[in-house]
Amino acid sequence: MQPVEIKKNVHWVGAVDWDVRDFHGYSTPKGTTYNSFLVIDDKITLFDTVKKGHGAKLLDHISQVVDPKKIDYIVVNHVELDHSGSLPEVIDIVKPEKVFCSANGKKALLAHFHREDWPYEVVSNGQTLRLGSKTARFIETRMLHWPDSMFSYLEEDKLLISQDAFGQHWANSKRFDDEVDESELMYQSAKYYANILLPYSGLVQKLIASVREMGLELDMIAPDHGMIWRSNPGRIIEAWDRWSAQETANKAIVVYDTMWHSTESMANAVADGLIGAGVDVKVMNMQVSHRSDVITHLLDSKAIVLGSPTLNNGILPRMADVLCYMKGLRPANKIGAAFGSYGWGGESVKLLNATMEEMKFDIVDPGVRVHYVPTVDDLAQCVELGRKVASAMKGESAGE
């Protein structure tokens, strides 16, 4: 890979990770990038570093632009190790005059690396740093998605270096949004939001409102993962506005696991009822689906219908896994229902409903329980369950 000049004297010098397949429970089948940005000015400044193990790539890219030892400043927008893991080796080589970070950033750097000797310079929200012809303004974004997080805005370039905001986990030889397939770009952006930022949606709403109030002119948004938004940076802000408002479409997902295909038959019948009522449906068997893809499709779905047979007075482990993951991400404004087969105890439907109630989903029906293998009449009940969910999505009562 080569460094890429994204603005005059602003260079992408990051690393592409083609191989990573898991990001603490989030499936990344297309890898990711760790974006780092080098500004050449009177004070040469590096914004963010890369994950440990990729530091040599970062230093090689920097070396193609300038001798790394000439770097004056390092800005740490976010301390998470995919952005700071190589910081110790970079600092040892660069020996910067200052390392800029938020107050919480300094605490996190000390907790991670235990280096009291680094030249920390704590900055506050709205503070500016003159680099020469360019000015960096720091914008604190606490809990988006760590307490230390902040943006760096290069005022003259109208460039927002947005750390983990507005990114995607997507390894690619291209650097810009207008160089890749738009539908894939937006899917990867939605997956990133759903699996990382969803619990902080209220804060995202406040941040977007704050950015609008500040009147920041945005010609480009450069996140720390994935594509740089240059053709229409407002597009990803509008998408984050929708996702953080947890707006939903006429969509539902049917998520299930099955033992001897009985619950599978029920899942397909529920889907038939939803489809017959005009709902866009995604059926997801957890034997072949990943929890992070479930959350991606749930992001703008109005309803979720869960299915599991009863196993040892509980639910199947893969369903327990996706529910545990879902609870942590706290989706809102959802309609729920449940179904499942059983041999003797039959607790699974009750347990599925209880978990959805805990997440404050609107449960529209007690659910369908089937003893062993569903009959034609049992499957008709499942179709009817799908219709009831569809009616609830339209705001209708079950009897209408």
The residue from 145, 169, 290, 297 that is catalytic is 145
Give phi and psi for 47, each to the nearest 5: -100, 110
Q: Which of 19, 24, 114, 117 is catalytic?
A: 24
From 225, 264, 297, 378, active-site residue: 225
- Catalytic annotation, pick one of 41, 48, 140, 164: 164
Structure tokens at 179: 């160089």
Q: How far, in whole angstroms, is CA 114 from its chain's centroid?
A: 29
Dihedral of alpha carbons 61, 63, 64, 70, sign: positive
Q: Measured on CA atoms in the order 351, 357, 361, 363, is the torsion positive or negative? A: positive
> Among the options 60, 72, 80, 89, which is catalytic?
80
Element (H, E) at 4: strand 4-7
Element (H, E) at 15: strand 15-17
Catalytic residue (one of 82, 224, 264, 378): 82
Other C-beta atoms closer than 10 Å to the C-beta of 197 total 22
CA torsion angle 161 165 166 170 (round to 10): 100
d(CA 268, CA 386): 10
How far is Cα 315 from Cα 335, in angstroms, rounded to an integer?
20
| 290 catalytically annotated | no
Cβ neighbours, 10 Å, residue 313: 11
Is the Cβ–Cβ distance between 50 and 86 less than 8 Å? yes
Q: Is 145 a catalytic residue?
A: yes
Q: List the one residue out of 47, 107, 103 whose CA is nearest residue 73.
A: 47
Torsions phi, psi of 70, nearest 5?
-90, -5
Q: Give the Cα separation of 400 and 390 in Å (integer).
A: 12
Q: How far apart are CA 114 and CA 117, in angstroms?
A: 9
225 catalytic per annotation: yes
Mark whether 192 is an active-site residue: yes
- Whether the CB-CB separation of 358 and 326 falls below 8 Å is answered with no
Which residue out of 26, 34, 192, 342 is catalytically annotated? 192
The residue annotated as part of the active site, out of 61, 78, 169, 297, is 78
The catalytic residue positions are 24, 78, 80, 82, 145, 164, 192, 225
